[in-house]
Amino acid sequence: MDRAPAEDARRSPRRRWTNAFGNLMLTIALAAALFAAYSLWWTDVLADRQADRAGDRLRQSWAAPGPSGAPSTVTTGQEVGFLHVPAMQQDPVVIKVGTAPAVLDQGVAGVYQEPRAAMPWDRSGNFALAAHRDGHGAKFHDLDAVDVGAPIVVETRDSWYVYRVDGILPETSPENVGIVAAVPAGSPYHAPGRYITLTTCTPVYTSLYRMAVWGSLVRVDPMDAERTPPAELHRDAPQSPAASPAASPADSPVPSPEPSLSPSSPVAPSSPSSPSSPSSSTSSAPAKA
């Protein structure tokens, strides 16, 4: 009868440690769940609010009287247009210059600056964009739903730039800067043209690799007073965008109704240092998204 209290006394410290360890594991699990909710839900809420404000601000600036035509330069953080990708079944995505977290975390698609991307109105080059796959708006979460032949449309103040998807790279190294070069490495293209590249992290909920979607310019539609979208953005639009009879192949410049800049017209760098050439081997890696 006297052994039971003594045995309980010996077991008491062990029970306390077991209970403490269990409570610690429960706290860690709860903290991890809260962090996941913050990363994948609350950051989406905040980013979507920022993106909505940026979109409203851009459309208001377009509605105000001002000079038409393409800007001569663009700067980091500047809104330049909207990205429409019907296959992703989402609202238009605001396009801003830059791919640093301070830009992409605002729930936008960012224009690469290192290597320096061309703009849609340039005579030649690759309009390369990045956006988050998960969290912070997750604007490219469904990038894997985009197939070859699908349309991609960029809306600016004065024009609709209609691209057709020609190639997809499901997975590559985060260090592969060639996927956003002027003539993207691994793409179907072998000569300079007017291209678009969309990049994001893959697989979902990781940043282990990057994926890329490549498209070539099919045509440029001038903007009318009502900002009527091109046929590719209608609900019953065909999968592949239609080229205008006068449109040139992707390897040749497509005439633009906007005053075009030279192929070297810069996307202004975020620092005074000179930006890297798109084909430079010293360029930074594709943006972490």
What residues act catalytically? Answer: 201
Find out whether 110 and 47 touch, Cβ atoms under 8 Å: no
Contact (Cβ atoms closer than 8 angstroms) between residue 204 and residue 141? yes
CA distance 26 to 3: 34
d(CA 102, CA 117): 18
Backbone angles phi, psi at 113, to 5 degrees: -115, -20
DSSP state of 141: T
Whole-angstrom Cα distance, residue 220 to residue 160?
6
The C-alpha angle 200, 203, 207, rounded to 5 degrees, equals 60
Note every long-range contact of 22-27, with CB atoms under 8 Å and residues 24 or more positions apart, other chains counting.
none
